[in-house]
Amino acid sequence: MSESSTPPVRSIGTLEAAAARVLPAAVWAYVQAGAGAEDAMRANHDAFRRRTLRPRALTDVRSLDLSSRMLEDRLAAPLFVCPMARQGLVHPDAELATHRAASDAGVLSVVSTLSTRSLEEIAASSPQGPRWFQLYLQPDFVASRNLVERAERAGYSALVLTVDMPVLGSRDQLLEHDFVLDADAPVGNGAPVLAPSRPPVGERGHFHLRSDAGATWDVLDDLQSITRLPVVVKGLLTGEDARRAENHGARAIIVSNHGGRQLNGAPAALEALPEVVRAVGSEVEVYFDSGIRRATDVLIALALGARAVGLGRPVLWALAVGGEAGVRRFFQLLTTELATEMALTGRRRLAEIDRTLLGAERW
């Protein structure tokens, strides 16, 4: 194979190391950083590594169906791209490349409020691709409403409200590199759009945050009053909060600890998943992100009740290594791997993936 035809992403297993070689140290720290001592991030990985799968033999697996649905959007596989800010730090084509590649793979994109490119540009880059818009509440609700209205006009089919970020988590790696996001990466959705508050500077034990940190569950009612889009709540880890979200009209929940980037003492998101699924039953769709790296992780999350699974850092790694072609290749590898693992465990369609797939834990 000639050098020009060599795929930018050879395998999922080498992707992280390949990205580390091409990104500047400070940007790599931004991509990789977890909260504090990164205990929550490690817990995410350990939760998957502990679990085993129970393969079933002599099942006719000549035909495999990975197709899925998230609310009204039909997908080729139960996967979505997590909302990730400022992808222009990783590759100049930024979210345009990610959305085009995901669309080609039949994967849903959740586009961040803090995208490098505007939400309109991203939508136009692949108009038929399934896409949702992620909202960080702004200090002025009028600014939040403007973002929601723009997303609705641009053809986004759901609104994802991130609720685990009243303040930006403390991230040691960013402090070590003196990395300041606002200065290094402007936001494509306009100068008035603000990122979540940084850790506050206090005096004699008193700290104050912006007005958006005072949001309560009523904000779900406020959002539903201004949009026809279904509201999805991202960042829940307890059954109590899942029920509150349901009571306030959320159509779906994303169980997530923000990839271990917010609260260092948070549980692994995978450990919280069964509690949330039990709390809302079949009334609200439950999705999952945080710690997904391989197809076996996808299977485990689906077996524990997730309807679909979000990818974060691996997508950025693929973007860094190969741009749009890299992300496209990543999804080709991941969906092929998922089909392979389904065949090896005797599951022909997603409906056959349940708790009977899970074996004893390794430790």
How many whole angstroms separate alpha carbon 284 and alpha carbon 278? 11
Composition of the chain by helix, strand, coil, percent to 5: 45, 15, 45
User: What averages of pLDDT result for each successive group of 10 residues across the chain (363 residues)?
Assistant: 59 95 94 93 97 96 98 98 96 98 98 97 97 96 96 98 91 76 67 81 76 93 97 98 98 97 96 98 94 98 98 98 96 98 98 96 88
**What total number of domains does the chain contain?**
1
Neighbours of 233 (CB within 10 A): 26
How many whole angstroms separate alpha carbon 73 and alpha carbon 279? 24
Instruction: Identify whether 209 is part of a domain.
Output: no
Instruction: Identify whether 206 is part of a domain.
Output: no
Q: 90 and 27 in contact (C-beta within 8 Å)?
A: yes
- Quick one: pLDDT at residue 192? 80
- Quick one: pLDDT at residue 185? 52
- Quick one: pLDDT at residue 181? 60
Which of 265, 319, 244 is CA-nearest to residue 91? 319
Instruction: Identify whether 271 is part of a domain.
Output: yes
Neighbours of 297 (CB within 10 A): 23
- Quick one: pLDDT at residue 293? 97
Instruction: Identify whether 317 is part of a domain.
Output: yes
How many whole angstroms separate alpha carbon 110 and alpha carbon 226? 20
CATH of the domain at 268: 3.20.20.70
Q: Is 290 helix (H, G, I), strand (E, B) or coil?
A: coil
Q: Which residue has the tokens 């009204």?
A: 72
**Residue 20 DSSP one-character state:** H
Is residue 258 part of the annotated active site? The answer reads: yes
Annotate 237-296 with DSSP letters as a single string: -SHHHHHHHHHTT-SEEEE--GGGTS-TTPPPHHHHHHHHHHHHTTTSEEEE-SS--SHH
CA 35 vs CA 57, 254, 272: distances in Å = 42, 19, 18
- Quick one: pLDDT at residue 175? 77
The model's pTM is 0.95
**Residue 111 DSSP one-character state:** E
Q: Which domain holds residue 279?
A: 15-55+69-194+215-357
- Quick one: pLDDT at residue 3? 44
- Quick one: pLDDT at residue 52? 97
- Quick one: pLDDT at residue 6? 55
How many whole angstroms separate alpha carbon 266 and alpha carbon 186? 30
Question: Of residues 45, 99, 177, 258, which has the active-site annotation?
Answer: 258
Q: 11 and 235 in contact (C-beta within 8 Å)?
A: no
Q: Is 76 helix (H, G, I), strand (E, B) or coil?
A: coil
Q: Is 207 exposed, middle or buried (0-12, 13-18, 19+ CB in 10 A)?
A: exposed
Q: Is 233 helix (H, G, I), strand (E, B) or coil?
A: strand
